[in-house]
Amino acid sequence: MDNVYVSGSILSADFACLGRVVKELCSAGVDFVHVDVMDGHFVPNLTIGPMVVSAIKSSSTVPLDVHLMMSRPSILLDSFIKAGSNRITLHAEIEEDVRSLLMQLKEKGVDTGLCLKPATPAETIIPFLDLLDQVLVMTVEPGFGGQPFRYELIDKIQEVKRLIQGKKIQIEVDGGLNDKTAPNCVKAGADILVAGNYILKSSDWHQAIMLLKGQQ
């Protein structure tokens, strides 16, 4: 895939005006709106649930890219689907039946993703390749925004690229991405770049997005 896409994360946005932030991200040129869902158990932070996804859906003109950092996503999976999630990414490290959950998403017409924490081997994706639209490689430890990019994980992006072997599976990268770190990920095989702080703290959101895409 030659195009580089940007998924604008709302994790570090002002939660008092999420609808406005989502509209502005869309106007600035993001290809997805990235929604980080944290349950306070799988990761040591607590963010938003299906009701907020439903509330921001009408503000977005691009697909909602929902990342479930949950120990038991099965409890709320249907709710996130009904809320309007276009793509839902689960974690490979959960104790639930990942394959069954991915199949459930496929049956409901939702794009599927599988996320790997920094310590999780790339090979973990192999049993699920037939069900995936996306592999999300974390280049920071999930749970909090604003962490520095871990350069040693570029090799993992390359390994995931090798494992998907030309299948129509996108590689998404999340964690510490900016105009300096993004080109390394794209060169390694990334298709989608998740960025929150870098865009939201920029004085020109459109320019920041174009820089991530390598178009400036």
Active site residues: 36, 174
Structure-block tokens of residue 54: 């439903």
**H or E element in which residue 7 lies:** strand 5-9
- Asked if residues 169 and 176 have their Cβ atoms less than 8 Å apart, the reply is no
Instruction: Please give the biggest Cα pair distance in the chain.
Output: 44
- Identify which of 53, 59, 55, 99 has the alpha carbon closest to the alpha carbon of residue 78: 53
Question: DSSP letter string over 114-148?
Answer: EEE-TTS-GGGGGGGGGG-SEEEEESS-TT-SSPP
- Asked if residues 113 and 143 have their Cβ atoms less than 8 Å apart, the reply is no
C-alpha distance from residue 101 to each of 68, 93, 98, 131, 134 (Å) = 12, 13, 5, 10, 15
